Amino acid sequence: MPTIDDVAKAAGVSASTVSYVLSGKRSISAPTRRRVEQAISTLGYRPHAGARALASSRTNVIGLMAPLRSGVDVSVIMQFVTGVVTRARDVDHDVLLLTQDDTGGIERVAAGSMVDAIVVMDVEADDTRLPVLRTLRQPTVLIGLPHEPAGLSCVDLDWEAAGRLAARRLADDGHRDVALIGSPPEVLDRRTSYAERVVRGFRGAAAEDGLTPVVVPCEPTPDGARRALDAALGEGPRGDGPGARSDRPTGLVVHNERALPHVLAGLAERGLDVPGDVGVIAICPGDVAVSQRLPLTSIDIPGELIGGVAVDMVMARLEGGQPAESRLIAPELTQRASTTPRVA
C-alpha cells in the first residue's frame, strides 16, 4: 500500500502538498495539482482511514443505531437505513451499523472515536438512551420525537398530524364512527414515539370533529389482525338501550404494515366492501399501500427522505456547529381506491 510520502516523492512535492490537493484546504497551482493527481492514480493511493482519523479527529463515519425491535416492520426500518446510507455517501461519509438496542454500543463507538456523529432510530417517549447521548462529544440526531428532546436534534414524520389527517379525511368523507387499527401492543407498551403520536392525533381530530373513535392495538399476525378487526368493528350489542354503543365504524385507519393484508382479508370475509361499506386509510410506505389487494388511500411514511434529512442535520451540526433543532415532516395523504365520499 503506497503512503502519502510515496505519492509526494513520485510527484516531486512534499507530503503536505499531497494532503492539500486531497482536502482542497489551500490553493494549489494547476501543474502541481496535476502531477499529484497523476501520481495518486498511477500508484493507486488511498489515504489510510485510521491515520487520517488520528491526525484530524475526523473519521467520516456516521454511527447508525437501528435496533430491530419486535413489532417494527423491517422493511420500514430498511427505508430509513437506506436514506441514511445514501445521503451519507453523498456527503462522503460511511455508516457504521449498530443493531443492539443497548446504550453500550453507542458509548463504545463514540468514546472510541469510531464515528463523527450518531443517528438513532426507534426512539421511545422516555428513551433511556437519551441521557447517554447528551453526554457524547459527537452530535446526535434522533429519528423520532421523545418527550424531552432538549439538547438533541430530532427529525420525524409528524405522526400526530398524520393521525389527525387520517381522521379528518374520514370525517370529510362522511364517516361518523371511525377506528384506528394501530401498532402492535408491544410497540405501544414501549411507548414508541411514533405509535403513540398517531393515536393522539387520531383521537384529537376525532374529538374535534365529533367522531366516535375506537383505537385497537394489533398484533402483526393473521389472528391478531382478525381479533383487532373484531374489536374495531364492535361485536357487542349496539344502538339500543341505555348503555347504547355507537354504530359499527365505517372508516378504518390502519397503522400496521404487517397486519394490513389480513385486515383487508378480514373485511372481505365479512362481506364488507372497500370502499363501499368501509373506507380504509393506511399509514405505511407508499409501495406497500399500492401492493395490497386494492390500492389503498394512504399517508406515506417517507423513510428514505427522513433518513436523508437526519444525515443533513447531523452534518450541519458537525460542520456548522448549529444548535440542536427538531424537524417534523408534514404528512401527505394520497387518495386511492380504498376511500370514497359516503353517500349517506
Partner DNA sequence: ATGAAAGCGCTAACAT
Partner DNA sequence: ATGTTAGCGCTTTCAT
Residues engaged in binding DNA (CB under 7 A): 1, 3-5, 12-20, 22-23, 25-29, 31-33, 45-48, 51-52, 54-56, 58
Which is nearer to DNA, 57 or 291 (by Cβ)?
A: 57
Measured CA to CA, the distance from residue 267 to residue 292 in angstroms comes to 13
Which is nearer to its own copies, 81 or 195 (by Cβ)?
A: 81
Q: Where are the beta strands (DSSP E) in the chain?
A: 61-65, 94-98, 117-120, 140-143, 153-157, 177-181, 212-216, 251-254, 279-284, 297-300, 326-329, 333-334
Residue 207 contact among DNA, its own copies, none, beta carbon within 5 to 8 Å by kind: none
CB 323 → DNA: shortest distance, Å?
Answer: 23
Measured CA to CA, the distance from residue 292 to residue 290 in angstroms comes to 6
Residue 40 contact among its own copies, DNA, none, beta carbon within 5 to 8 Å by kind: none
Binding-site ranges for its own copies (CB under 8 A): 1, 44, 46-54, 59, 61, 64, 68, 74-75, 77-78, 81-82, 85-86, 89, 94-100, 105, 108-109, 111-114, 137, 220-222, 258, 261-262, 265, 291-293
CB 95 → its own copies: shortest distance, Å?
Answer: 5
Measured CA to CA, the distance from residue 241 to residue 283 in angstroms comes to 36
Which is nearer to DNA, 49 or 207 (by Cβ)?
A: 49
Which is nearer to its own copies, 11 or 61 (by Cβ)?
A: 61
DSSP 301-340: --HHHHHHHHHHHHHHHHHH-PPP-EEEEPP-EE--TT--
CA 80, 320, 85: angle at the middle one, nearest 5? 20
Residue 20 contact among its own copies, DNA, none, beta carbon within 5 to 8 Å by kind: DNA
Measured CA to CA, the distance from residue 156 to residue 144 in angstroms comes to 5
CB 49 → DNA: shortest distance, Å?
Answer: 8
Which is nearer to DNA, 108 or 270 (by Cβ)?
A: 108
Residue 99 contact among DNA, its own copies, none, beta carbon within 5 to 8 Å by kind: its own copies
CB 141 → DNA: shortest distance, Å?
Answer: 23
Which is nearer to its own copies, 59 or 339 (by Cβ)?
A: 59
87: amino acid identity, one letter:
R
Q: What is the DSSP letter of 15?
A: H
CB 28 → its own copies: shortest distance, Å?
Answer: 22
Which is nearer to its own copies, 25 or 137 (by Cβ)?
A: 137
Residue 74 contact among its own copies, DNA, none, beta carbon within 5 to 8 Å by kind: its own copies
| CA proximity to 157, closest of 132, 185, 211, 121 | 121
Residue 250 contact among its own copies, DNA, none, beta carbon within 5 to 8 Å by kind: none
CB 7 → DNA: shortest distance, Å?
Answer: 7
Which is nearer to its own copies, 185 or 234 (by Cβ)?
A: 185
Write out the three cell numbers for 323.
444548535
CB crowding 109-141: b at 16 or more within 10 Å, else e:
bbeeeebbbbbbbbbbbebebbeebeebebbbb
203: amino acid identity, one letter:
R
Measured CA to CA, the distance from residue 14 to residue 24 in angstroms comes to 15
Residue 98 contact among its own copies, DNA, none, beta carbon within 5 to 8 Å by kind: its own copies
CB 18 → its own copies: shortest distance, Å?
Answer: 15
Write out the three cell numbers for 166.
387520517
Which is nearer to DNA, 58 or 270 (by Cβ)?
A: 58
Measured CA to CA, the distance from residue 166 to residue 23 in angstroms comes to 49
Residue 255 contact among DNA, its own copies, none, beta carbon within 5 to 8 Å by kind: none
